[in-house]
Amino acid sequence: MSKIKLYTDEDMFGQVAPQLRRRTYDVLSTPEAGNLGLSDNQQLEFAISQGRTILTFNIDDFPRMHYECLATGRNHYGIIVSAQVHIGAVVKRCLNLMSVLSAEEMVNRLEYLSNWQ
Overall domain count for the chain: 1
Any domain includes 30: yes
pLDDT in tens, 19-47: 999 999 999 999 999 999 999 999 999 99
For 66: left if phi > 0, alpha if psi spans -120 to 50, otherwise beta; the answer is alpha
* Tens-digit pLDDT string for the chain (117 aa): 899 999 999 999 899 999 999 999 999 999 999 999 999 999 999 999 999 999 999 999 999 999 999 999 999 999 999 999 999 999 999 999 999 999 999 999 999 999 999
Any domain includes 38: yes
C-alpha atoms less than 13 angstroms from C-alpha of 10 in its C-beta half-sphere: 15
Any domain includes 1: no
Domain containing 108 equals 6-116
